[in-house]
Structure 1
């Protein structure tokens, strides 16, 4: 068997085990059609980076002023590297820092029907949202910049509780994303 067919079988198995995560999605808030894949996109397409952060065996979640729980991460700035964006977003939203290299799980490949990019330097109409996991430590308060989400609570919790709290999103794929991160971490 070739490496290509092994990889194709691995990707098909992953999609079968996490069907909601891999299902085509419509993110109406951004006029975005999205599709998750474990095949990583080219760097120039990545506009957003998000992380399942593990503090010990617990998952770090942030709660904003509206009461919504979310995984830390956000939008890349102009000419910002993936690593710099991740470090900045962890500090801004969770008061956290990386303790090791992130493991990239995959990305949502996205196409927007908005006429202009969200930020002038971003690719358009195609882009990608990168998802991963890493060991983190929460060692300060979120910096809460004026142009970001206003985080009112950061909490490390059991992965099952994190999955439950992420259900405010109508998209049930969030639970599968956390489950995939837990599985990937156990495999290392």
Structure 2
């Protein structure tokens, strides 16, 4: 069996075990069609980076002023590296820093209906949202910049609870993303 055949089998297995995560998505809020793959996109397509942060085995979630729970992460700035974006977003939204290197799970490859990119320097109409996990340390309050989400609570919780909070009123794939991160983390121990 070749490496390509092995990788194709791994990707098919992941899609079968996490079907909601791998299903085509329509993100109406952004006019975006998206589909997850464990195959990582080229750096130039990545516009957003999000992390399942683990603190002592628990998942770190953020809650904004609207009561919306989310994983820390966000949009890359012009010419910003993936690593710099991740560090900045963790500090801004969770008051956290990396305690270990990130492990990339995959990305949603996206195509937007919008006639212009979200930010002028972003690729358009195709882009990618990168998802990963890492060990983190929550050691301060979120910095809450004026142009970002206003985080009112950061909480570390068991992965099952994090999955429930993320899927409440939303797509089931959020819970599968948490489960994939937990599985990947246990495989890296």
Aligned residue number for residue 110 of structure 2: 110
2:70 and 2:92 map into 1 onto residues whose CA distance is 13
Residue in 2 that maps onto 1:119 = 119
> Could you tell me how far apart the structure 1 residues matched to 2:120 and 2:2 are?
42
Tell me, which stretches of 5 or more residues in structure 2 are unaligned? none
Determine the C-alpha separation between the residues in 2 that align with 1:95 and 1:3. 40
- Taking structure 2 as the reference length, the TM-score comes to 0.99
- What TM-score does the superposition give when structure 1 sets the normalisation length? 0.99
Provide the C-alpha distance between the structure 2 equivalents of 1:171 and 1:34, rounded to a whole number of angstroms.
Answer: 13
Alignment map for 1:146-185 (pairs within 5 Å): 146-185=146-185
Task: Name the residue aligned to 1:97.
Answer: 97
Q: Which residue of 2 aligns with 1:140?
A: 140
Q: State the alpha-carbon separation in 2 of the partners of residues 167 and 85 from structure 1.
A: 25
Per-residue deviation, residues 76-128 of structure 1 (Å, max 9, x unmatched): 00000000000000000000000111000000000001000000000000000
Q: Distance in 2 between matches of 1:138 and 1:14?
A: 30
How far apart, CA to CA, are the structure 2 residues paired with 1:116 and 1:174?
28
Structure 2 CA distance, aligned partners of 1:163 and 1:27? 19
Structure 1: 5+ residue runs without aligned partners?
Answer: none
Structure 1 position 59 matched with structure 2 position 59: yes
Structure 1 residue ranges, 4+ long, deviating more than 6 angstroms after superposition:
none
- Alignment correspondent of 2:68: 68
